[in-house]
Amino acid sequence: MRVIKIDSRNKVITEITLAKGVEAICEQLECGYFTCIDLPNGDALYLDDEGLLREEPIGAFMLQGYVQPLSGHGLIIGTDAETGESIDCKSSVHFIKGSVSFIPVQ
């Protein structure tokens, strides 16, 4: 499926193809546990649930409209409203690039 990856380490935002399943999400996020933030258009932002607890953080970013910094990589994945299944994201790379700013990790 088509998703958007927010790569905090390299400070780039790209469209990637992601296999379905928890393992693929964890691999891209470089984590063991993840959490989701619902976006207004029906997409969801997946994040490392323990990103703030890492001794050596990957990186961090701010998402327009969200009040706190987000630690680690992010994946924007579409959600089927009827089934809850993951699908191609609705967001465009251009829109996400305009909505994300990378911030220094302290």
Angle CA 88–90–93, to nearest 5: 100
Give per-residue pLDDT as tens, 48-72. 988 877 778 899 999 999 999 999 9
pLDDT of residue 59: 93
In the chain, at which residue ranges do the beta strands (DSSP E only) sit? Answer: 2-7, 12-17, 34-38, 43-48, 60-63, 70-71, 74-79, 86-87, 100-103
Reply yes or no on whether the pLDDT at 42 is more than 90: yes
Mean pLDDT of 67-95: 94
Report the predicted TM-score, pTM, of the whole model to 2 decimal places: 0.93
Give per-residue pLDDT as tens, 4-37. 999 999 999 999 999 999 999 999 999 999 999 9
